[in-house]
Chain A
Amino acid sequence: MTAVRCVDLCKTYRQGEEDIKALDHLSIEIVEGGFVCLSAPSGGGKTTLLNAIGGLDKPDSGEVYIAGRRIDNLSKGELAELRLRKIGFVFQAFNLIPVLTARENVEFVMQVQGVPAAERGQKALDILEEVGLEGLEDRRPADMSGGQQQRVAVARAIVSRPALVLADEPTANLDSKTADGLMELFRELNDHHNTTFVIATHDKRVMSYAKRLIRMLDGRIVEDIAQDAA
């Protein structure tokens, strides 16, 4: 079963007088339960591809399908609903809501999804325990380390068990030990819950965890290799 399918995607940005091709007739297919790393130098188009897959940005042309449903022609509201229910995001800068505690940050998305209070409270506690943050539920982001914050962000992204998790440089602000811990967590979720992961990175250690490594350059796929994960 295909989790993500992109067909002939093009996206051009204008930078000053120059047109930058972020996606250049790119096509890709990712199966359910895939653990894919997108690797490219800065400006290579990996974040643009991630944004297109997540419905955060629309391609100039081409088609994007998530679980068989075309999404590039959906409205803003429909895309928001899709992201809310089907896709989890993990960002480089953690991006937690600073005035909410770890537990509340995780609960917030569930509240928007309409999960009843008691259920979401328990789910938040369970997922925080699962990502190794037991006992830190009531801390605010400012009182947590970078690794802990990223774990909260991961917990927030996966608490609703989305079919697809998109991570953009998730280890960029983490030390190597914490980064390894995070990747182990991703792999565990991938193995146990069959969650599809698409991770944009240029961290070689992160790439070593991937089952499939896609190298991009100037908006094109230059290498697509299946590999044995670390």
Chain B
Amino acid sequence: MNLVFRLAWRNLWRQPRRTWLTTGAMVFSNTLLVFMISLQFGMYGLMIDNTLQAFTGHLQVQAPGFIDDQKMRQTVEGIVPLANELRGEFPDQHVAARANGFALISSAERSYGVAVFGVQPEYEPRVSTLPGLVATGRFLEDNDATEIVIGAALARNLKVGVGDELTLLGSGKDGSFAAAVVNIAGIFDSGIPDFDRSITEIPLGLFQDVFYMNGSGHHIVLNNGGISGVAELKARVEATLPSDQELAVHDWDRLQPGLQQAIKADMSSAFFMYGILVVLVAFSVLNTQLMSVLERTHEFGIVMSLGLTPGRLGRLVLLETAIMGLLGFLLGTFLGGLLTAWLSVNGFAYPGMEEMAVKFNLPARFYPEVSTLSLISGPMVVFLFTIIAALYPALRLHRLHPVEAMRAV
């Protein structure tokens, strides 16, 4: 082992309690950071998945411009055969076709304006969690049946229940009058009042018939199962689309721009807290190394008289700090990784979470997401700040004068 490294290592253990306390602070903060960042990434993953799997999906094939200006006539022609083609091309993906429009929905007593989605009953449950949220009755079954599922808030407002009849009045693709009488098959409760008040679903076949879609629809949803690999999938889907009609493929980030913004906002506040933790650790290191340098002033005077420059001594102090930081990094990452790996398998819950999860169709436990990034990003920042904190004691050595230093007790 290099003599300077040996010297640095042994210097650390001159005051083992102090070294362990400082290293312990690093280990604690690194363990906490690994756990918190992994949990945060896991939560974001869950948040993205839940949001996208609720309705949006990870990719959508649409007519160009539909995303910004959702006009009835901006359609995907032959949407069901195209969805079937994509399903055949990407057997590991869940694919479903949809159409959507607006209608006035009326019960015997009241009328409300709602968004009407035409969905494929067979495939919709694989791209959306909405069918799983049906609390009363059932989800749609037949692609041409004259039935509808509505939200609990709308059912309350319309004063209707499962089996009751509703009238839909809207405007078809060609601008003509669209009307239908449908029976309520099921009532869903998403827990989001706005959603439950304004969204309704009918079979795609019925939608195409009522709204004169002539076999067209508005978007094909692809559910990738998770956000990793979406960019690659998008490229593959774009390459697969027929050339005879102009179509656009949008990923989840374009479809749900607010989602990334919400995550970024949450990350900013979380990183502010992490920053405070890192600064506290850095001050602990600063204190330790400053004390270590001060109590060795006499010794530093001696080695300077032997010909060591302040720069070399400063590097020795930085090396001592780096060893301590590395120890904190390795132990913290190991312990944090171990804890997080265990929780990523067994999950993490808090009291009351289970009831909430059932209500919102969410998993009953959080699972931290262990990745290289979540494992090393926090500890790396702690290590970096540890070195920065040691710069002051190291640079202070440049002010040391050998004769004065040797007089120090």
Query: Is the pairing of A and B real?
Result: yes
Interface residues of A (CB under 8 A from B): 51, 54, 56-57, 76-77, 80-85, 87, 89, 91, 95, 97-100, 104, 107-109, 111-113, 156
Smallest beta-carbon distance B232→chain A, Å: 52
- Confirm or deny: B254 has a beta carbon within 8 angstroms of a beta carbon on chain A: no
| Contact in complex: B305, A54 (CB < 8 Å) | yes
8 Å CB interface, B1-49 against A: 3-4, 6-7, 10-11, 13-14
- A31 → chain B, closest Cβ, in Å? 24
Q: Which of B14, B302, B310, B311 has the most CB of A within 10 A?
A: B302
Contact present for A100 and B7 (CB under 8 Å)? yes
A-B contacts, 7 of them at CB < 8 A, read A77-B311, A89-B306, A97-B7, A97-B303, A98-B14, A111-B3, A112-B312
B136 close to A (CB within 8 Å): no
* Contact of B403 with A56 in the complex, beta carbons under 8 Å: yes
**Who on chain A is nearest to B10 by CB?**
A99
Across the interface, which residues of A come within 8 angstroms of B308, CB to CB? 80, 84, 112
Query: Which residue of A83, A85, A100 contacts B305 across the interface (Cβ within 8 Å)?
Result: A83
**Within 8 Å CB of B305, what residues of A?**
54, 56, 83, 89, 91
Known pairs A80-B308, A107-B3, A112-B306. 4 more at Cβ < 8 A?
Answer: A76-B309, A95-B406, A100-B10, A109-B306
The verdict on B91 contacting chain A, using a C-beta distance below 8 Å, is: no
A99 near B403 with CB under 8 A, answer no
Give A156's nearest chain B residue, CB to CB: B306
Please give, as numbers and ranges, the residues of chain B lying within 8 Å of A91 by CB-CB distance. 302, 305, 406
Known contacts A56-B403, A100-B10, A112-B312, A84 near B302 by CB under 8 Å: no
What 4 A-B pairs have minimum CB-CB distances, sorted nearest first?
A84-B307, A99-B10, A83-B307, A95-B302
**Interface size counted on chain B using CB atoms at 8 A:** 24
Residues of A within 8 A of B142 (CB): none
Q: Which residues of B contact A (CB under 8 A)?
A: 3-4, 6-7, 10-11, 13-14, 298-299, 302-312, 402-403, 406
Q: A82: which B residues are within 8 A, CB to CB?
A: 307
Check if B304 sits within 8 Å of A80, measured CB to CB.
Answer: yes
Known contacts A51-B403, A104-B3, A111-B4; A99/B306 CB under 8 A: no
Q: Known contacts being A80-B304, A91-B302, A95-B302, is A57 close to B403, with CB within 8 Å? A: yes
Looking at the assembled complex, report how far the CB atom of B332 sits from the nearest CB atom of chain A, in whole angstroms. Answer: 26
Contacts of B311 in A (CB 8 A): 77
Please indicate the chain B residues that have their CB under 8 angstroms from the CB of A83 in the complex.
Answer: 305-307
Q: Report the minimal beta-carbon distance from A149 to chain B, rounded to whole angstroms.
A: 13
Inter-chain CA distance A54–B11, complex, in Å, is 28
A91 vs B308: C-alpha distance in the bound complex, in angstroms? 16
Roughly how many angstroms separate A91 CA and B310 CA in the complex, as a whole number? Answer: 20
Contacts of A156 in B (CB 8 A): 306
A80–B45 Cα distance when bound, in Å, is 58
Task: State in angstroms the CA–CA spacing of A80 and B302 once bound together.
Answer: 12
Interface centre among B3, B4, B299 (most CB of A within 10 A): B3
CB–CB A76/B310 < 8 A: yes
Max chain B C-beta neighbours (<10 A), residue from A76, A89, A100:
A76
A85 and B14: CB pair below 8 A?
Answer: no
B60 to chain A minimum Cβ distance, whole angstroms, is 66
Instruction: Give Cα distance in the complex from A99 to B4, angstroms.
Output: 12
Minimum CB–CB distance from A130 to chain B (whole Å) comes to: 19
Contact B309 A108, beta carbon cutoff 8 Å:
no
Residues of chain B contacted by A98 (CB below 8 angstroms): 14, 299
A80 close to B403 (CB less than 8 A):
no
